[in-house]
């Protein structure tokens, strides 16, 4: 099966894109409004893909990695100034793109081997046609998941966690260092919430951050506690829940990961879209 079949299901959905000269602030607003954690950057004249901005680039920019130098060094920690820089300063250049003619097998292998959750779909000239994500794949294939498959077999066990009192700068570094976009939040061993990379997009792509700043210094945001931005009313699943029903919960609620809790309500693991996509890489479904 070619990914063209999945793209047909998305034909009426406008492809969200930005340009190299789009400000980081406007990119964040676009990502927040469109509820996406990755957005292609195209040349304004040719519509050719020249980059991608993801939620992890935002984590890097806000204090998790080397892109923070744009705030720290060039703008002396002034977030209000740095956020008006063009997005080309933080985007990933030469992103992985895929042809609409590749097979679903090939796409899944790319997602897993390159550890990416989505990619621009382009023609031979690298002109943007669409975006395709792990969620699109799961939505298309979830009915093929065997009912006997359980969450426990595919979940990530012993996940890295955060605490309510941690500062955002520390969470950003943890996410970037370990390549995780989502951290369960534990207090006294109990699950109390979830903090994700999209929470950073939400606070920076809305008025939230600016309502919490008086000087414009980035530390006014990076020193905010996890408890101030985390999601508290979160859905959970159990280790023995079916993988198919879990996939359906993710699709229905537009979420990319679910904490897995045991009978004692203690955290056992996390099940992500990538974990579910890995099911289809094991010869479990005809694609």
At residue 230, the 3 state secondary structure works out as: coil
The predicted pLDDT at position 123 comes to 96
What pLDDT, on the 0 to 100 scale, is given for residue 6?
Answer: 84
Phi/psi of residue 267, nearest 5 degrees: -65, 130
Mean pLDDT, range 29-45, rounded to an integer: 97
- Residue 7: the pLDDT is 82
3-state secondary structure of 121: strand
**Distance, CA of 191 to CA of 177 (rounded, Å):** 23
pLDDT score at 286: 40
**SS3 annotation, 61-104:** HHHHCHHHHHHHHHCCCEHHHHCCCEHHHCCEECCCCEECCCEH
The pairing of strands 98-99 and 118-122 is parallel
The structure tokens listed for 197 are: 């990379």
Task: Give pLDDT tens digits for 87-141.
Answer: 999 999 999 999 999 999 999 999 999 999 999 999 999 999 999 999 999 999 9
Q: What is the pLDDT of residue 282?
A: 65
Please give the share of the chain, as a percent, with pLDDT higher than 90: 90
Contact 75, 82 (CB under 8 A): yes
The CA-to-CA distance between both ends of the chain, in Å, stands at 5
CB 243 within 8 A of CB 149: yes
Task: pLDDT band for 5, please (50, 70, 90 cuts).
Answer: confident
- Residues 70-73: contacts with CB under 8 Å, at least 24 apart: 71/218, 72/218
Residue pair 49/32 in contact (Cβ under 8 Å)? The answer is no
Q: Is the pLDDT of residue 287 over 50?
A: no
What is the C-alpha separation between 60 and 262, in angstroms, rounded? 33
The pLDDT of 139-156, averaged and rounded, is 95
Summarize pLDDT for 214-266 with one digit per residue, the tens: 999 999 999 999 999 999 999 999 999 999 999 999 999 999 999 999 988 89
Q: Can you give the pTM of this predicted structure? A: 0.92
- pLDDT category at 281 given cuts 50, 70, 90 is confident
pLDDT band at 283 (very low <50, low <70, confident <90, very high): low
Give mean pLDDT, residues 72-100.
97
- Domain annotation for the chain: domains and CATH numbers: 4-143 (3.10.580.10), 146-198+224-279 (3.10.580.10)
Q: For residue 183, give the DSSP letter.
A: E
Distance CA 171, CA 174 (A): 5
Give pLDDT tens digits for 44-62: 999 999 999 999 999 999 9
Mean residue pLDDT of the chain comes to 94
Cα 178 to Cα 159: distance, rounded to the nearest angstrom: 11
> Where residue 12 falls among pLDDT bands split at 50, 70, 90?
low
Rg (C-alpha) for the chain, rounded Å, is 19
């Amino acid at each position: 099966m070619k990914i063209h079949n999945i793209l047909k299901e998305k034909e009426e959905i406008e492809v969200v894109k930005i340009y190299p000269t789009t400000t980081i602030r406007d990119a964040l607003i676009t990502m927040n409004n469109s509820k996406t954690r990755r957005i292609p950057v195209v040349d304004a004249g040719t519509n050719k893909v020249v980059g991608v901005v993801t939620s992890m680039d935002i984590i890097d920019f806000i204090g998790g990695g080397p892109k923070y130098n744009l705030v720290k060094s060039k703008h002396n920690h002034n977030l209000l100034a740095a956020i008006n820089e063009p997005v080309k300063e933080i985007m990933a250049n030469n992103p992985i793109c895929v042809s609409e003619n590749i097979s679903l097998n090939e796409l899944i292998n790319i997602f897993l081997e390159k550890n990416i959750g989505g990619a621009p779909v382009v023609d031979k000239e690298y002109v943007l046609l669409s975006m395709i994500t792990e969620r699109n794949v799961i939505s298309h294939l979830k009915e093929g998941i065997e009912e006997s498959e359980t969450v426990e077999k595919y979940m990530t066990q012993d996940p890295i966690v955060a605490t309510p009192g941690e500062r955002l700068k520390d969470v950003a570094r943890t996410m970037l260092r370990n390549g995780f976009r989502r951290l369960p939040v534990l207090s006294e061993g109990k699950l109390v919430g979830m903090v994700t990379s999209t929470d950073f997009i939400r606070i920076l792509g809305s008025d939230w951050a600016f309502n919490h700043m008086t000087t414009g210094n980035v530390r006014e945001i990076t020193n905010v506690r996890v408890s101030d931005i985390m999601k508290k009313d979160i859905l959970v699943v159990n280790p023995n829940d079916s993988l198919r029903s879990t996939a359906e919960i993710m699709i229905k609620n537009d979420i990319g990961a679910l904490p897995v809790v045991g009978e004692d309500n203690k955290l056992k693991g996390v099940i992500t879209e990538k974990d579910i996509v890995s099911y289809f890489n094991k010869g479990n479904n005809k694609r």
